[in-house]
Amino acid sequence: MKIFEPHQVIFRENALEYPLARKMYKKFEEEGYLIKKAPAKGRLPIDYDKTFQQKYNQAKKTILVAVRSTNNFASCKPSAHYQLPLISGCPAHCHYCYLNTNMGKAPYIRIYVNHKEIFAKAEEYIAEREPETTIFEGAATSDPLPVEKWSGSLTEAIKFFAKTKNARFRFVSKFTEIEPFLNLDHKKQTEIRFSLNSKHIINTFEKGTPQIDERLKAATMLKNKGYPVGFLIAPIFTYPDWQKDYEELIKKISLHFKDEQNLTFELITHRFTDRAKNIIEKIYPKNKLPLDKNERQFKYGQFGYGKYLYPAEKYHELENYFQQKINDYLPDSKIKYFV
Ligand code: SF4
């Protein structure tokens, strides 16, 4: 699996007031990356004279180091109470990616450097809900792992939550560079999940991501270090061999995790928005995604825009199938939700 190499790294000038940004600047410089500076707000020093597709691809190869407003954190149902906004964006090119809805045509990989302020805001949310436990999701608008070697954001979050009462952290990834986490004193307060899919779906739609075996190996290493681990099977598609292929996947997981008592599953069926469909068709014109609205049911989601889901009958068939197979192969695991 090729490791992510950005084409350029842009630092907002106000980000450079933070020690983390200065440390990253030095590291990117030593590693020979193209570095640019930009004002705190406004246009970036990039080539805007490009087609839509070229601009999208340019953004996927651009890291933007910035300061995150901490006015509020978005909610994050059903995976957590709040998003923890440390990173947004992802360098991979999964055709179905949900980021096509919320990041649109300029999916820069943003690293936010004001960790202390972000964690302080998290503490406010935790205090509001005490004595209940508040759960934060670190991958709501990103796959944060490909930039961890520069940002250290997840490492900081794991350390922060290890010493914070009434709170837990979780994030999900398709990537496997988990070495920074292996020797952290995480106190089981961080749950790391891997997003998996059938081999057919990975090979057809998930461009630039590691294969199933690599993800399972990373999950096993984390499990052996005491982390709570889990799996997202997402997005779930129906296609001619879906039952056989998904059974093969669940069987494979069971070979690695059959003795694990606290394994969790999160199951998300494929859905798309008008905005995502529009972008996907421009960026990946030859994609084979099932994006025919006539074959879907329309529903409003938590952020106010509508989504096209599988129709009720198919949805229930999928739900029953996954419940049955996970129960057959991994009876001690827990399905957190099926959506
Ligand atoms: S790995 Fe996740 S965040 Fe990255 S492109 Fe694929 S679906 Fe999107």
Ligand 1 in reach of 86 Cβ (< 6 A):
no
Count of structural domains within the chain: 1
Ligand 1 in reach of 268 Cβ (< 6 A):
no
pLDDT at 206: 95
User: What tens digit of pLDDT does each residue of 232-255 get?
Assistant: 999 999 999 999 999 999 999 999
Flag whether 28 is in a domain.
yes
Flag whether 56 is in a domain.
yes
Flag whether 1 is in a domain.
no
CATH code for position 239: 3.80.30.30
Flag whether 328 is in a domain.
yes
- Mean pLDDT taken over the chain: 95
Tokens 């889990």 locate to 230
Predicted confidence (pLDDT) at residue 275 exceeds the cutoff of 80? yes
Top-confidence residue, 160 or 258: 160
**Residue whose CA lies nearest to ligand 1 atom number 8:** 97
Flag whether 113 is in a domain.
yes
pLDDT at 102: 79
First to last CA, the chain: 30
Predicted confidence (pLDDT) at residue 315 exceeds the cutoff of 70? yes
pLDDT at 259: 86
User: What tens digit of pLDDT does each residue of 110-145 get?
Assistant: 999 999 999 999 999 999 999 999 999 999 999 999
Share of the chain above pLDDT 70, in %: 99
What would the mean pLDDT of 173-190 be, rounded to a whole number? 97
Flag whether 3 is in a domain.
no
**Residue whose CA lies nearest to ligand 1 atom number 6:** 94
Q: Which of 60, 193, 209 to mutate to test the pocket of ligand 1 (most atoms within 8 A of CB)?
A: 209
Flag whether 2 is in a domain.
no
Between the CA of 98 and the centroid of ligand 1 the distance, in Å, is 7
Q: How confident is the model at residue 262 (pLDDT cuts 50, 70, 90)?
A: confident
Between the CA of 279 and the centroid of ligand 1 the distance, in Å, is 15
Ligand 1 in reach of 148 Cβ (< 6 A):
no
Predicted confidence (pLDDT) at residue 303 exceeds the cutoff of 70? no
Q: Which of 99, 207, 284 to mutate to test the pocket of ligand 1 (most atoms within 8 A of CB)?
A: 99
Residue type, 19: P
Flag whether 292 is in a domain.
yes
User: What tens digit of pLDDT does each residue of 205-227 get?
Assistant: 998 899 999 999 999 999 999 99
Predicted confidence (pLDDT) at residue 302 exceeds the cutoff of 80? no
Domain ranges, residue 15:
8-338
Q: How confident is the model at residue 64 (pLDDT cuts 50, 70, 90)?
A: very high
Q: How confident is the model at residue 1 (pLDDT cuts 50, 70, 90)?
A: low
pLDDT at 308: 97
Length of the chain in terms of residues written: 339
User: What tens digit of pLDDT does each residue of 9-21 get?
Assistant: 999 999 999 999 9
pLDDT at 86: 98
